[in-house]
Amino acid sequence: MLKVTEKPGIISFAGGLPSPQTFPIEAFADACEKVLRGGGVDSARASLQYAASEGYRPLCEWVAASLPWDVSPDQVMITTGSQQGLDLVAKVLIDEGSRVLVETPTYLGALQAFTPMEPQIVGVASDAEGVDVDDLEGKAAPTLRTGASVTPEGPRFLYVLPNFQNPTGRSMSEARRAALVARAAAIGLPLVEDNPYGDLWFDHPPPPPLTARNPEGCIYLGSFSKVLAPGLRLGFMVAPKAIMPKLLQAKQAADLHSPSFNQRVVAEVLKDGFLDRHVPTIRALYKRQCHAMLSALRTEMAGLDVQWNEPDGGMFLWVRLPEGMNATELLPKAVEHGVAFVPGSAFYADHADPRTLRLSFVTATVEQMGVGIAALARAIREQHGA
Ligand code: PMP
């Protein structure tokens, strides 16, 4: 489907690619030079050598110091993107037939990471503020009947994206975070918190992460993809000390370690508060793009029963089509009109809502936004009337 949507001439709101305008090319050029020539030949050679599975120590230290709770660098593992963090969590925590809870909807890449371990993935009801804590209690019950099968033990974890979620763009309120962490702790349910978008807020930073409230009950995943560049394939995982040996074993089996050179270059780029200067430029760009998309939606969808949310950050917003419509069926018509999106059904563990779709507001330019949303509105009108 992504191949179709990336055809030349199509305005794509489909992909989850950060804007390449934000990649700090000069900072990387300087950092590469420093890593290869700035520290003597031994340091240059080390950057090209095999290295520790945990990650480059100065980078682990930077990660630990950057987080708003007490984290030891020994609890940090550098991963090959946060996507690898999801894969390692799946390998260590999931057995065939065990239950895993996710939000409704949730990140497709997480469903893909969990599925090979053959768990029973159960969606927890969610609203504009995130996970419905009462529904969670029911879905986390020790014995749960879903369809024909019964899982005889509690879930292994709840996977949750509190900030500018992929795919919906929604964020959890402070009250909901507090309630979720308290309920999860009370029933002994581990949380896997994925936070690649938390720094991409428009006007106000989101409330503190779930993990900050109960570090022993959570695994936290972070990423350099959205604040530096995704091609580096660097992310990180923070986990309770007791589980680190198992995660490290899985990491060693997967790829021994994340690229030494990339880690040292990123550690060099991050020196002297680089992100404090760089990330505000990403926030400003994405905020402008989001506002352009929202304004085009208001104009072009007038008179149509189409709903959407207004995110406070991140890269995505979530649209619900008029009653009776199906986003997967709409896509070919939209592509005919020159615009692409991702149908929402890909993001559900169960009970997909066929009316939903995801729009990315960061890849298309502000100039393309009006044209693309107008094309989408035309496709909806045609399909709706059909
Ligand atoms: N989690 C979420 C919610 C994402 O949206 C993405 C990227 N699309 C990832 C994890 C993986 O990111 P990366 O591996 O580049 O860190």
Question: In this predicted structure, what is the pLDDT of residue 9?
Answer: 87
* pTM listed for this prediction: 0.96
Neighbour-count burial for 188-205, b at 16+ CB within 10 Å, e otherwise: ebbbbbbbbbbbbbbeee
| 142 CA to centre of ligand 1 in angstroms | 30
Question: In this predicted structure, what is the pLDDT of residue 37?
Answer: 96
Q: Which domains, and CATH codes, for the chain?
A: 2-16+276-384 (3.90.1150.10), 25-269 (3.40.640.10)
Would you state the torsion angle of the CA atoms of residues 45, 47, 53, 55, taken in this order, to the nearest 10 degrees? Answer: 140
- C-beta of 194 in contact with ligand 1 (< 6 A): yes
Question: In this predicted structure, what is the pLDDT of residue 342?
Answer: 96
| The token pair that represents 107 in the structure block | 């990140």
Alpha-carbon distance of 38 to 32, in angstroms, equals 9
| 17 CA to centre of ligand 1 in angstroms | 10
| The token pair that represents 367 in the structure block | 């100039």
Question: In this predicted structure, what is the pLDDT of residue 384?
Answer: 84
The DSSP call for residue 18 is: P
Alpha-carbon distance of 217 to 209, in angstroms, equals 13
- C-beta of 162 in contact with ligand 1 (< 6 A): no
Alpha-carbon distance of 189 to 185, in angstroms, equals 6
Neighbour-count burial for 259-278, b at 16+ CB within 10 Å, e otherwise: bbbbbbbbbbbbeeebbeeb
The sign one gets for the Cα dihedral 207, 210, 211, 216 is positive
Helix (H) or strand (E) segment spanning residue 65 = helix 57-66
Nearest to 122 by CA among 141, 182, 130: 141
Q: Which parts of the chain have pLDDT scores under 70?
A: 1-2, 4-6, 144-152, 386
Question: In this predicted structure, what is the pLDDT of residue 337?
Answer: 95
Alpha-carbon distance of 219 to 88, in angstroms, equals 11
Atom of ligand 1 nearest to the CA of 86: 10
Question: In this predicted structure, what is the pLDDT of residue 152?
Answer: 62
Question: In this predicted structure, what is the pLDDT of residue 148?
Answer: 58
- C-beta of 225 in contact with ligand 1 (< 6 A): yes
- C-beta of 230 in contact with ligand 1 (< 6 A): yes
Atom of ligand 1 nearest to the CA of 82: 16
| 119-159 pLDDT per residue, tens | 999 999 999 999 999 999 999 988 766 665 665 689 999 99
Atom of ligand 1 nearest to the CA of 224: 16
Alpha-carbon distance of 113 to 140, in angstroms, equals 21
Question: In this predicted structure, what is the pLDDT of residue 309?
Answer: 97
| 225 CA to centre of ligand 1 in angstroms | 8
- C-beta of 47 in contact with ligand 1 (< 6 A): no
The radius of gyration computed from the CA coordinates of the chain, to the nearest angstrom, equals 21
Torsion-angle region of 118 (φ positive above 0: left; ψ -120 to 50: alpha; else: beta): left
